[in-house]
Amino acid sequence: MTSGQHIDGVLVQWGERLFYPGNRIVKSAPLPRLDAMLRRKAAVIRRRIEATVRRAPQVMVKVTGGGRGMAAIAAHFRYISKNGKLEIEDDREVARTGKEAVRDLAEQWRYGGSLIPEEGHRREALNIMLSMPAGTNAALLQKAAREFAQTELAGHRYVMVLHEHQANPHVHLSVRAEAASGKRLNPRKADLQRWRETFAEKLRGWGIDAEATRQPSRGESRNFEPLWRIKAKEEGRLRAVSAATTTGRAGTQSRADAMVSWAHIMKALAASEVAEDRQLAERVAAFVRGTTFVREQFVQGSKVPSRQHRPSNELSPPGVGRSRPSPDISR
């Protein structure tokens, strides 16, 4: 095996742990020859490494709730469309405005499949928000959201509304839980990550720089704000407060594992004969040093060796299990 193949192998081995959940199902083309497949996978991993360390804008896909009867669903239609003032688009790409259009959509949902009662005990719709940071082209975001829905919500009725009057452009999606086949939508954590990756892919297809790197891989420990806080902030009713952090042992361990992966990736890139790889290794090191996790778990606890003292190859913070040795990232 050549040096380049070894480096590619390390990138794929540790990069897949960083960027792809273990239970993610990917439908791929027939496998090419091993060396060609390795080069292709390594190229994908390099692109994701580069996008992450330069802190490409991260997409947000969040389930914000859901109606348990037509009264709640219709109320959400009115809310996201500002009572018909904003254009509301359905799964057939028919866009309309006005109170009558909103009422008509609600009636279509009520009788389009199993009858949805006015009040109910089970969730009949899911409310999803697709968001990007301020400055993102809202029209292109809407196109990407439409393609996302066509891919991930096929067979379900849904409506979508673009909100571009707030700081962060975003699209509200309301999805009928029951599909035409009768199967019900019940997204799990792995589904939400796949949704993020799909949305990021659709945005990149429209020329928008977007990534869907998981929080542990970014060394972040911030939770998403609850919807009530987002609304209050948009309306100026909330004073600035710090976002909540993830402090549980499992969250700490997953971030420590991600740092181990980053360390192996950095070591492999630094040993490359390709100048671009060595430059990327330096950027990876700077990125890792700047993560919230490293600052909180290592720097504040004086667990990262200084430039003058780099004998340790331990990466895990106090109290976190160490399952494997890892190269030093303190430089």
Predicted confidence (pLDDT) at residue 29 exceeds the cutoff of 90: no
> In which band, very low, low, confident or very high, does the pLDDT at 185 lie, cut at 50, 70 and 90?
very high
Last residue of some domain: 188, 205, 222?
205
Q: Is the pLDDT of residue 200 over 60?
A: yes
Residues 200 and 64 in one domain: yes
The DSSP-derived string for 82-113 is TTTTS-EEETT--EE-SHHHHHHHHHHHHHSS
Q: What pLDDT score was predicted for residue 309?
A: 36
Tens digits of residue pLDDT in 16-26: 999 985 544 44
Asked, for residue 74, whether it belongs to a domain, the answer is yes
Percentage of the chain exceeding pLDDT 90: 64
Is there a single domain that holds both residue 255 and residue 192? no
Task: Examine the domain organization and report whether 197 and 128 are in the same domain.
Answer: yes
Residue 236 is assigned to a structural domain of this protein: no
Q: Does the structure show a pLDDT above 90 at 301? A: no
Identify whether residues 176 and 273 lie together within a single domain: no
- 125 and 258, same domain (yes or no): no
Non-local (6+) Cβ contacts of 140 within 8 A are 203, 206, 207, 208
Identify the residue whose tokens are 């009928």.
176
Structure tokens at 147: 């393609």
What is residue 47's predicted lDDT score, i.e. its pLDDT? 94
Buried b (16+ CB within 10 A) or exposed e, 154-189: eebbbbbbbbeeeebbbbbbbbbbbbeeeeebeeee
Q: What is the 3-state secondary structure (H, E, C) of the chain?
A: CCHHHHHHHHHHHHHHHHHCCCCCCCCCCCCCCHHHHHHHHHHHHHHHHHHHHCCCCECEEEEEECCCCHHHHHHHHHHHCCCCCCCEEECCCCEECCHHHHHHHHHHHHHCCCCCCCCCCCCCEEEEEEECCCCCCHHHHHHHHHHHHHHHCCCCCEEEEEECCCCCCEEEEEEECECCCCCECCCCHHHHHHHHHHHHHHHHHCCCCCECCCHHHHCCCECCCCHHHHHHHHCCCCCCCCCCECCCHHHHHHHHHHHHHHHHHHHHHHCCCCHHHHHHHHHHHHHHHCCHHHHHHHHCCCCCCCCCCCCCCCCCCCCCCCCCCCCCCCC
In a domain, 116, yes or no: yes
26 and 91 share one domain: no
Judge if 132 and 30 occupy the same domain. Answer: no
Single-letter residue type at 189: K
Classify residue 323: in a domain, yes or no.
Answer: no
Domain boundary among 146, 179, 205: 205
Give the structural domain span for 86: 60-205
pLDDT > 70: percent of the chain: 77
Question: pLDDT band at residue 73, thresholds of 50, 70 and 90?
Answer: very high
Residue 236 has pLDDT above 70, yes or no: no
Say if residue 85 is in the same domain as residue 125: yes
| Same domain for 270 and 197 | no
Note the pLDDT of residue 70: 96
- pLDDT band at residue 240 using 50, 70 and 90 as cut-offs: low
Res 310 pLDDT > 90: no
pLDDT at 3 over 60: yes
Indicate if 201 and 64 belong to the same structural domain: yes
pLDDT at 331: 43
Residues 75 and 40 in one domain: no
pLDDT at 295 over 90: no
Question: Residue 314 — very low, low, confident or very high, per pLDDT cuts 50/70/90?
Answer: very low
Mean of pLDDT values over 148-176: 95
Report the number of distinct structural domains present in the chain: 2
Are 68 and 48 contained in the same domain? no
Does residue 158 carry a pLDDT above 50?
yes
Residue 268 lies in a domain: yes
- Taking all residues of the chain, what is their mean pLDDT, rounded to a whole number? 83
Per mean pLDDT, which range of 40-49, 145-154, 229-238 is the poorest?
A: 229-238
Give residue-wise pLDDT tens across range 243-260. Answer: 444 457 777 888 899 999
The pLDDT value given to residue 229 = 58
| Mean pLDDT of the region 177-198 | 92
Q: Is the per-residue pLDDT at 220 higher than 90? A: no
Of the candidates 149, 205, 140, 195, the residue with the CA atom closest to the CA atom of residue 172 = 149
Instruction: Give the CA distances from residue 182 to residues 73, 149, 157, 312, in Å, rounded to whole numbers and listed in that order.
Output: 19, 18, 12, 57
The model's pLDDT over 103-143, given as tens digits with 9 standing for 90+, comes to 999 999 999 888 999 998 899 999 999 999 999 999 999 99
What was the pLDDT predicted at 88?
A: 98
Q: Give the per-residue pLDDT at 37.
A: 87
Q: What is the CATH number of the domain that holds 92?
A: 3.30.930.30
Domain-located, residue 312: no
Query: Is the model's pLDDT at 299 over the cut of 80?
Result: no
Q: For the whole prediction, is pTM greater than 0.85?
A: no
**Rounded to whole angstroms, what are the CA distances from 82 to 76, 77, 78, 144, 231?**
10, 8, 6, 22, 14
In-domain check, residue 120: yes
Mean pLDDT of 293-299: 76
Q: What are the distances in angstroms from CA 49 to CA 44, 60, 193?
A: 9, 19, 17
Asked if residue 228 is part of any domain, the answer here is no
